[in-house]
Amino acid sequence: MREKILYSLGIVAALFLARNIWKMLVGLPDEAFQGAIFRVIFFHVPAAFTCFACYLTALIASISYLKSKNLKWDSLSVSATEVGLAFGAANLVSGMIWARIIWGIWWTWDWRLTSSLICWLLYAGYLVLRRAVEEPTERARLSAVMSILSFSVVPFVFFSIKWFRTQHPQPVLYGEGKMDSAYRSMLYINWIPLLMIAVIFVAVRMLQEKRQREIDALRRTVHAF
């Protein structure tokens, strides 16, 4: 039942995304300065926001785990972090492609870019840390702490363009950057399917985690004399 709902949601999200892409390619004109590549922004920015949303979810789940000691929160935390990493990677890669075309280089040690990368590495570290702890409860506890500590970098990513002079465009959504309203609404609208996809992934990963726990418990009983 749950799987069916997830799959149908997935189909809806995919259709929505297809519609958006169609609109983007056909409905919207090229941007004046950057040309066709500008359309990357419709993925670049929503991916970043989705990624932050995932990290926030992981933070909340981690705190909840420490409060309730219920391993469900732990699975939510890993799942959200993994999906967040995927969207973080999407943001980084789309940004890099964009940078290659607009700036002519793949990467520059600009604060926004760098802090995004740090953040990505930290959460990747979270996953590495999880592998180093055998026992599930201890793993959940320690990685919850790690998740809480990691989140402290997220505001840094967010505000880095405010605090430092950067090459990265200024935020258009809340800051000094400017953007045509047609582009802007496209940005928002494209965020919806991405967020849906993230939610579906998280749900699927949580199911997997649950199965994995069940399998582990079974295997333990087999392996215990």
Partner 1 sequence: MRALAVEGVWKFYGDYPALRDIGFDVQPGQCVALLGRNGAGKTTLLRILAGLSRPSKGAVKVFDKDHLDRSARSAIGIIGHGIGIYDELSALENLRLFAGLYGLQSPDKAAHQWLERTGLERVKDGLVREFSRGMRQRLAVARAFLHRPQLLLLDEPFTALDDRAIALLQSLLKESLAQGSTVIMSTHQLREALELATHVVLINRGKLAHTGLRTQEMLDDPTYLYRTYGEA
Partner 2 sequence: MLFFRQVATVAAKDLRSELRTKEALNASLSFALVILLLFSFAFSPTSDMTREISGGLLWLVFAFAGALILNRSFARELENDCLDALISSPVSSPALFLGKALANYVLLLGIEFVCLPVFGVFYNVSWAQQLPSLALVLVLASWGVSVVGTVFSALTVNMRLRELMLPMLVYPILIPCLMAAMQLTTPLLAGEPLTGDLFAWLRLLVGFDIIFTALAVVLIDTVLIG
Residues of this chain that bind partner 1 (CB under 8 A):
69, 71, 134-137, 213-214, 216-217, 219-225
Q: What is the C-alpha separation between 60 and 151, in angstroms, rounded?
A: 10
Assigned token pair, 55: 């990290």
- CB of 130 within 8 A of CB of 143? yes
Sort 186 into a burial class: Cβ within 10 Å, 0-12 / 13-18 / 19+: buried
Assigned token pair, 94: 């789309």
Assigned token pair, 175: 């800051």
The region of 141-149, 171-179, 188-196, 205-213 touching partner 2 under the rule CB under 8 A is 141-149
Q: Is 195 in the site for ligand HEM (CB under 6 A)?
A: no
Q: Give every CB contact of residue 174 below 8 A, 6+ residues apart in sequence.
A: none
User: Mapping DSSP to helix (H, G, I), strand (E, B) and coil, where does residue 170 land?
Assistant: coil
Binding residue for partner 2, selected from 138, 176, 180, 216, defined by CB under 8 A:
138
The region of 28-36, 52-60, 149-157, 209-217 touching partner 2 under the rule CB under 8 A is 149-157
Q: Which residues on neighbouring strands pair with residue 35, listed in sequence order?
A: 31
Q: Which does 131 bind (CB under 5 to 8 A by kind): partner 2, partner 1, ligand HEM, none?
A: partner 2
Task: Write the binding mask 21 to 50 for ligand HEM: x where contact by CB under 6 A, - elsewhere.
Answer: --------------------x--xx--x--
From 203, 183, 205, 195, select the one nearest 87 (Cα to Cα): 195
Sign, CA dihedral 217-220-222-225, equals negative
Outline where 69-180 has alpha helix (H). Answer: 71-102, 111-132, 136-151, 154-163
Q: Which does 48 bind (CB under 5 to 8 A by kind): partner 1, ligand ATP, ligand HEM, none?
A: ligand HEM
Assigned token pair, 193: 């399917």
Q: Is 135 in the site for ligand ATP (CB under 6 A)?
A: yes
Binding residue for partner 2, selected from 153, 186, 200, 203, defined by CB under 8 A:
153
With respect to partner 2, which residue has the nearer C-beta, 145 or 173? Answer: 145
Q: How far is the CB of 126 from partner 1 (least distance, A)?
A: 19
Residues in contact with ligand HEM by CB under 6 A are 41, 44-45, 48, 91-92, 95-96, 98-99, 102, 112-113, 116, 157-158, 168-169, 171-173, 177
Residues in contact with partner 2 by CB under 8 A are 66, 96, 105-109, 114, 117-118, 121-122, 124-125, 128-129, 131-134, 137-138, 141-142, 144-146, 148-150, 152-153, 156, 163
